[in-house]
Amino acid sequence: MTANAKGMFVDTTLCTGCKACQVACKQWNELPMEDEAAVREHRAFLATSYDNTGHLSSTNWRHVKFIEQFSEDRTDARWLMMSDSCKHCEQAGCLEVCPTGALYRTQFGSVDIHQDVCIGCRYCVGACPFGVIDYNGRTGRVNKCILCQDRMETGDGTACAKSCPTSSLTYGRVEDLKAMAAARVRQLHAQGKTDAYVYGWDLGNSGVITQGPNKGQVVKDMEVVGGLNVFYLLMDQPSVYGLPSAPQLPQRNMTPSAGVALISAAVLGVTGLAAFRRRRMEPAMRGASPPQAPQAVS
Amino acid sequence: MPTYVIEPHWANWMLSLEMFVAGLAAGIFFFIALANTTGRKEDREVGAILGFFPAPLMLIAAILLTVDLGEPTRFLNLIFTNPAAAERPGPFFLNPSSPMNYGTYVILVFGALTVIPFLDALRHTGRLPFGHGIVERLAHDPVGMFICAVFALATGSYSGVLLNVTNQPVWSDTYIQGGLYVVFSALGGFAAAGIAADRMRARETAGAVRTGLMGITLLAGVLVAVFVANLVALGVAQPLIGTTTAFVAPAFWIGAVGLAILYPLVVTTTGIRLQLARVNVSSLAVVGTLALLGVFAFRWSILHSALAAVAH
Amino acid sequence: MANSDWIIFMGSNMAECHPVGFKWPMKAKARGATLIHVDPRFTRTSAMCDLYVPIRAGTDIVFLGGLINYIIENKKYFLEYMINYTNAATLINANFKDTEDNDGFFSGYNAQTRTYDNSTWQYQRKPAPARKPEAPAGPPGQSLKGANIAELIANRIPGQPLEDRTLNSPNTVLSILTRHYARYTPEMVERITGTPKELFLKVAQIITENSGRDKTGVFTYAVGWTQHTTGVQLIRTAGLIQLLLGNIGRPGGGIKALRGHAQVQGATDISTLYNAHPGYLNTPSARRNHDTLRDYILTETEPTSFWSNRPAYFISQMKAWFGDAATADNDYGYDWLPKITGDHSHLPNFVEMSEGKIKGMILTGQNPATSINSTFQRGAMRKLEWLVVLDLYETESAAFWKKIAGSTPEDVKTEVFFMPSAHIAEKDGSMTQTSRMIQWHDKAADPPGQARSDLYFWYALGKRLKAKYASSTNKRDLAIKNMTLDYDPTPAEVAEWKHKDEPSAFKILREINGYDVKTGNVLNSFASLTADGNTAAGAWIYTGVLQLVSGQTVNRGRMLPGKNDGWVSPNWGWAWPANRKQLYNRASADPDGDPWSERKKFTYWDATAKTWKNDSGDGIDFAPTKAPGTAANPTGTGIAFHSGRDPFLLKTDGKGWLFAPAGTVDGPLPTHYEPWESPVKNALYKQDRNPIAKIWDVKGNKYNEFGGVQFPHVITTYRLTEHHLSGAMTRWLPWLAELMPDLFVEIPPELAEEKGIKNGDYVTVTTERGATEARALVTRRLRPFKIDGKTVHQIGMPWHWGYMGIATGDVTNNITSLVADPNVTIHEAKAFTADIRKGRAR
Ligand SMILES: Nc1nc2c(c(=O)[nH]1)N[C@H]1C(S)=C(S)[C@@H](COP(=O)(O)OP(=O)(O)OC[C@H]3O[C@@H](n4cnc5c(=O)[nH]c(N)nc54)[C@H](O)[C@@H]3O)O[C@H]1N2
Ligand SMILES: Nc1nc2c(c(=O)[nH]1)N[C@H]1C(S)=C(S)[C@@H](COP(=O)(O)OP(=O)(O)OC[C@H]3O[C@@H](n4cnc5c(=O)[nH]c(N)nc54)[C@H](O)[C@@H]3O)O[C@H]1N2
Ligand code: SF4
Ligand code: SF4
Ligand code: SF4
Ligand code: SF4
Ligand code: SF4
Ligand SMILES: [Mo]
């Protein structure tokens, strides 16, 4: 990990779902509406709790998720919220596949995009295990949260964290944030909220879910893809928040895939050679006489 | 439900077409290399005529890619390190963990190599004003053609490896798409050759094509079986076996499995002759055409399977 | 709030409507406080709370009354606080009759006029001090000439209230309270509110166990409480609980009224209310004895509370308004002031407009075309001859005449003028927030195009009017003729900006703050205001926001974020009065002046220094050197009438009022009435609804049948974080428009199933007033209620949409009605009835 890496700790227990972060991101980064026509034509209402933007995209670098967990009689009732963005992975799938160097690791340990270099090949889009990075049809390049690179350079921290009224988002040194997260998990456990655990780093906590459909299941701090510089405190299984429970680098398939291709190619070569040796004649052509007229097929 | 699946524009039809034409160019070149080095005279003639195709197909692929991505000058960033990406050393860009980077170089070399059969085709049809000797030698040199075949097969497998090295449902759930793609690429090449042989009434070559098709479809069948079994075992085969996914499953089963594998396999192994109306539907021209359709369906359905995975 | 041990959000959705301030409750939670949300819906606030308590809209008085009953029954009150600081022991007129004994009416009800006479609600008192003879009033226009105002007021001091500190007399306030709430049992609470009994008891336990010497808690409300025909009494119920538990005037205690529009506090202080002058001085009224200045002062001044200073505040205000023209010889211009003749608030104004009685309207920063019974309001606007709209956008109100608004443009005769307005960031000024804190903001940019500040509009208009009346001698023109209007900016103020004739907001603040008429120096405290014309101050409560410090005028509204400023942060803005952040903070010490506990130490008496102290830096809301042992002076004016143990300066007896002999027009005690429209009858007594609620029986404002079956569902309306009010400031903004693009109605799945409605469907909600179409948001966050054995569905709609802007939608207020609380004329948009069906309205 880059010494002094900067990142964010997302404490979902403090998120009120106000979306200030989402708007602050758009304002600072001058991002347009995702689909104005859809709003004007009344196609934008999603009827999924209070979420009408649905996902991260090239124009929504931050997205607040709303998860309603209510038992039929409402005795078990919980409304989880989580503000999501690029995780600035220690091992970043996007960065690993980028064929141009457009994606790069910054001096702050985050993953930024050189817009001048990106060719819009979208390979990174498929490579990110979290579905973060997205193709921008307006520019022909990809976009995602860049951890406010320009603000970090001036020492200002991220716009979204700055705007978060409840400190659900905290910007800082990843090492400090980890200590803060560990303390917070311990505090919550002490209050009986044993659901709390960290997604991104293994800080050694484990607990049991107390509410919702996964009640009783064990949860443990988890380090994923080498650690996330933007990491989360969750209260339920990652899948509940739409996060992969075991994200992986795309490169896990590279050698085996190339290997299978190589073997297949070898078999093809042999097959080809054999074909030119021992031919299977066309039945119609077996006779000496030339074929009769109609093969009018094209 | 995974929320981390890419958006539709990624897997649009253009990409399927791009992959199809490039794969076809590779397959045809593979056939030419075989015909030119180990074939008989008739094979070489068919090979020479097929030589007209790879270069224009690659050109089409390049055009499609340009239309798809826009700003062709930006492609240079794939090869030369853009000054803005100062983190990377050296004038030539290579990200060792990116299949696309290798692929770029492979395709570049392959694209250049397709000029050889093209010139050879011109030569063969008497349209090449100069350099007959050298072109003929290049096009029939065993070592040269072996290298060409390697690049052709690498190109054929490239997009499969590419899809494998992602984090998308179906695409990256197995790691045998590199194999599948190269086999389907060769399948396309042999299918095209079959059409050519049939049209040229080259019965010897047709025989070789039939044998080749038999082997290749057999191999493809095995790989597809492993592929599907693997997905089923992982519980993620829904987009390919489910009915909820509109076109993907039909395209895969009817197109990729039916037209591209089973039909050629049956026709070539049993040698049966089928007459439909007045058309001999077991002729290589028909089998080849249907197989090409199937190859396209294969690319299309695999590409869209990731999307289909979220659709249900 | 960060210091509270429990917080009940009730009638407020604080996390959504006050998201920035919500960080303080979150701090309290981190420190171990218990957070409770009592609301008909499970909201983003509920999501953050330890306990969510469902309640049927419009029944809060029963829930809170139940808490009072629990506190009294289990003797959980903070006895020492209650007996010393509230009127619990005070004896009430023996003829007082309670609703419990009177079928839902208090004594004094007049069915003809639908009003109460409160004479039976009064204290029993000792005889008043002997009266001295008074000089007769001066001639008209000089009514105060030669009078000694202080003597006149002293001559009106009543006798001291009688008490029974044993609390045994049936006429003590506590006895009356005990009887009044005896029927508000947990069972009754469940029966009326639909709140499960166990949940109610849990709340009762939490708040009683966490109040007292060492702990405090807070109620937090906003318009979920106010917007009812019983709104004022509802809030009083919480006040009663806090007085019983000893939670007023102490850190972490109180009742937090979360204000609305960013400047709504300032708008009531410097007022946009028809019935109050700036600084909460009643507007002269033709219906009261306000004929002359002398009458006004003697009618309005309470001789035994801090309000005994009213003459100084009122006359200083006249001086600020009329400058040199206001003199002792003309009663400071009192006679030039117009008098009100009735309720001129928004709703009755629009009723008059609909009757063609109002010819023109200048609409500044309001969007009535989408407000309460909006069809009615748009109809009323069509009767106007002219309309001026000052706004940032072409709002629904500016476009009310268009087809899109349901009008036929050819038939609308109204001439509409649209004046583009500068946005808040495009002008200087002050804002006063929820905590009475005045904060100054500097202009950041020039407004675009022709947009100008509202100040400029009104100033320019005022100047033109003055020019027109300059030579008039007509008495009714004198107010305008004599009005001071000299706010031209200094060159430095406008140096950077495009418009050089923007009036100086600072000069206006200076006039509001007040100054010495002779020296022109700003005044540092309202204590320097006099009733002799030597001081001028637009609003006494703001006196001190500007301070003269070593010859320099300092604007305390500018934030001086002092390091190590403590949690009270006295230098962060300036809170009126006199930068006191915690009102009545004398109550944070025990009767002897010692802190109730070390943990809750705040204002206390320093016996050696003989002065009250506050280590956190807050202002002392008490006479600074009045010792706790000081006895009440039966002939003392103002707070001298109170003892050193009476913290509530603004009350005539210095006590917190559990029982209100005056001030509320609909009764001295809060009592439950059903909302004006309700599917169920009042389970407590025959009288279903507030007998004196304000109603308007006019065309287009038909009420749904009470308890009827045609409109069986309870509906409430509310806000979302993503939008602001009518949406004029948010639906035009792309980033916010996409966050909440369409109007929706939240319904429980049980009801959806009954009606065949699927999530996301178009549905139509109807009342007698009309229909509103919305998308269905089917969610278990809403739930069916069991009321008196019968299932009642509660549904809810935000109300931010209209037909203009980027994100458009139907107007929720098409279905609301004009019906209001009798005290303050706030509408009842929080609880009424409606029907819902699948499909579109139009
Ligand atoms: N984002 C945002 N913030 C705002 C505003 C805005 O429009 N948008 N508006 C500002 C203004 S002007 C105001 S006045 C404030 C208002 O602030 P709030 O009063 O918090 O706002 P509302 O959403 O109208 O109503 C609050 C809650 O009252 C509940 N409620 C309804 N009826 C009852 C009832 O009978 N009893 C109880 N206990 N609860 C009930 C509703 O379900 C709702 O959750 O917000 C201010 N802040
Ligand atoms: N059903 C229902 N109805 C309600 C409520 C409810 O809860 N339910 N709540 C009620 C409450 S609490 C309120 S406060 C009212 C609010 O109702 P309104 O005050 O009518 O609504 P707003 O949208 O706040 O209108 C303010 C207007 O001022 C404009 N504006 C903003 N800044 C400036 C400025 O500097 N100068 C000028 N000239 N204009 C400016 C805005 O663009 C906007 O058009 O609605 C009430 N109506
Ligand atoms: S979350 Fe995705 S886009 Fe962000 S750094 Fe990781 S792999 Fe890249
Ligand atoms: S789209 Fe741009 S950033 Fe993504 S992999 Fe391609 S070149 Fe790199
Ligand atoms: S860090 Fe910056 S770019 Fe990333 S989500 Fe926050 S505001 Fe947007
Ligand atoms: S600003 Fe903070 S509280 Fe609001 S949605 Fe974002 S993370 Fe949650
Ligand atoms: S809109 Fe303004 S007043 Fe309201 S919460 Fe946000 S910052 Fe505070
Ligand atoms: Mo409001």
Distance between CA atoms of C656 and A64, rounded to whole angstroms? 45
Rounded CA gap, B141 and B121, in Å?
Answer: 15
* Ligand 8 centre distance from Cα of residue B149 (Å): 76
pLDDT for residue B270 is more than 60: yes
Q: Which ligand 5 atom lies nearest to the CA of residue A147? A: 1
Residue C250 to residue C601: CA distance in whole angstroms: 8
> What is the average pLDDT across B100-110?
95
Distances (CA, A) of A267 to A6, A39, B182: 50, 55, 11
- CA C698 vs. chain centroid, Å, equals 27
Return the pLDDT at C398. Answer: 97
Confidence class for position B4, pLDDT limits 50, 70, 90: very low
Q: Where are the domains of chain A?
A: 6-248, 252-284
Q: Has residue A2 got a pLDDT over 80?
A: no
- pLDDT of B5 higher than 70: no
Distance CA C578, CA A112 (A): 52
Record the tokens describing residue C357, joined without a space.
């009685």
Give the span between the Cα atoms of C265 and B30, in whole angstroms: 81
Report the pLDDT averaged over residues B34-48.
95
CA distance C762 to C775: 5
B/e letters for C499-538, b = 16+ CB within 10 Å, e = fewer, are eeebbbbbebbbbbbbbebeeeebbbebebbebebebbbb
Give domain limits for chain B: 13-311
End-to-end CA distance of chain A: 60
Q: Which residue's CA is the nearest one to ligand 6's atom 6? A: A21
Whether A35 contacts chain C with CB within 8 A: yes
Query: 């009858």: which residue's tokens?
Result: C681
Which atom of ligand 7 lies at the shortest distance from residue C18's CA? 5
pLDDT value of position A287: 39
Rounded CA gap, C363 and C376, in Å? 17
Element (H, E) at B248: helix B248-250
- pLDDT value of position B12: 66
The architecture of the domain spanning B13-311 is Up-down Bundle (1.20)
Q: Report pLDDT for B212.
A: 96
Asked if C60 contacts C237 with a C-beta cutoff of 8 angstroms, the reply is yes
CATH classification for the domain delimited by A6-248, as one of 3.30.70.20, 3.40.50.970, 3.90.45.10, 3.30.565.10? 3.30.70.20
- Look at C44 and A17 and tell me if their CB atoms are within 8 Å: yes
Q: Check residue B246 and give its pLDDT.
A: 64
Query: Rounded CA gap, B100 and B165, in Å?
Result: 10
The Cα angle at residue C490 between residues C488 and C493, in degrees rounded to 5: 110
pLDDT at C43: 98
CA-based nearest residue to C189, from C282, C271, C311, C66:
C66
Among candidate residues A139, A147, A93, the one with its CA nearest the CA of residue A116: A139
Residue-wise pLDDT for A241-252, tens only, equals 999 999 999 999
Return the axis-axis angle of helices B284-311 and B263-270, rounded to nearest 10°.
150
Is the CB of A160 within 6 Å of ligand 4?
no
Contact flag C781-A34 (C-beta cutoff 8 Å) = no
Could you tell me if the CB of A113 is within 6 A of ligand 4?
A: yes
Mean pLDDT calculated for residue range A202-223: 96
**B93 Cβ under 8 Å from any chain A Cβ:** yes
Pocket of ligand 6 (CB under 6 A): A 15-21, 64, 83, 163-164, 166, 168-169
**3-class state of residue C350 by DSSP:** helix
Q: Best of A147, A164, A168, A170 to mutate for ligand 5, by most ligand atoms within 8 A of CB?
A: A147
Q: Using CB atoms within 10 Å of the CB of residue C742, give its burial: 0 to 12 exposed, 13 to 18 middle, 19+ buried.
A: buried
Q: Is the ipTM of this complex over 0.85?
A: yes
pLDDT band at A292 (very low <50, low <70, confident <90, very high): very low
Instruction: Give me C753's structure tokens.
Output: 């199933």
Q: What is the pLDDT of residue B252?
A: 94
* CA pair distance A119, A139, nearest whole angstrom: 10
Beta strands in C535-593 (DSSP E): 535-536, 546-549, 552-555, 574-575
- Ligand 5 mean position to A160 CA, how many Å? 6
Between chains, do B162 and A123 touch, taking CB under 8 Å as contact?
Answer: yes
| Chain B nearest CA to A129, separation (Å) | 5
- H and E: helices and strands count for chain C: 22, 30
Distance CA C504, CA C510 (A): 10
Low-confidence stretches of chain C (pLDDT < 70) are: 561-563
Taking only the tens place, the pLDDT of each residue in C1-38 is 999 999 999 999 999 999 999 999 999 999 999 999 99
Is the model's pLDDT at B144 over the cut of 90? yes
Give me the half-sphere count of Cα atoms (radius 13 Å) on the Cβ side of residue B5. 20
B169 touches chain A (CB under 8 A): no
Sheet holding A169-173, edge to edge: A169-173, A6-11, A230-234, A197-200, A222-223
For the cut 90, the answer to whether the pLDDT of residue B6 exceeds it is no
Ligand number with the minimum distance to the CA of C829: 2
Separation of first and last alpha carbons in chain C: 47
Instruction: Choose the residue to mutate in A86, A121, A136, A146 for probing ligand 4, maximizing ligand atoms within 8 Å of C-beta.
Output: A121
Helix (H, G, I), strand (E, B) or coil at C629: coil
Q: Is A143 in the pocket of ligand 5 (CB under 6 A)?
A: no
Terminus-to-terminus CA distance in chain B, angstroms?
9
Q: How are beta strands A77-84 and C552-555 bridged, if at all?
A: unpaired
Q: How far apart are CA C11 and CA C359, in angstroms?
A: 37
| SS3 of residue A1 by DSSP | coil
The answer to whether C583 and C650 have CB atoms below 8 angstroms apart is no
Are B181 and A261 in contact (CB < 8 Å)? yes
Cα-trace Rg, chain B: 20
Read off the pLDDT of residues A82-135 as tens digits, 9 standing for 90 and up.
999 999 999 999 999 999 999 999 999 999 999 999 999 889 999 999 999 999
Q: What is the pLDDT of residue C126?
A: 97
> Does an H or E element contain C35, and which?
strand C34-39
Tell me, what's the pLDDT at B274? 82
Q: Report if pTM > 0.90.
A: yes
Q: Bridge partners of C549?
A: C552
The confidence band for B310, taking pLDDT boundaries of 50, 70 and 90, is: low
**Among the bound ligands, the one closest to the CA of C26:** 6
β-bridge mates for residue C834, sequence order? C713
At C446, the amino acid letter reads D
Cα angle at C101 between C95 and C102, to 5 degrees? 85
- Can you tell me which residue has the tokens 């409560």? C541
Name the residue in chain C with its Cα closest to that of A28. Answer: C735
Report yes or no: C814 and C826 within 8 Å, Cβ to Cβ: no
As a whole number, mean pLDDT of residues B282-291 equals: 94
Mean pLDDT of chain B: 90
Q: What's residue A4's pLDDT?
A: 87
Q: What is the three-class DSSP state of B307? A: helix
Task: Tell me the DSSP string of C165-186.
Answer: TT--STTBHHHHHHHHHTT--H
Residues B179, B183: Cα–Cα separation, whole Å: 6
Distance (Å, rounded) from C-alpha C389 to C-alpha C367?
9
What confidence category does residue A282 fall into, taking pLDDT thresholds of 50, 70 and 90? low
Taking residues A232-257, report their average pLDDT.
96
Check if the beta carbon of residue C738 is closer than 8 Å to that of residue A53: yes
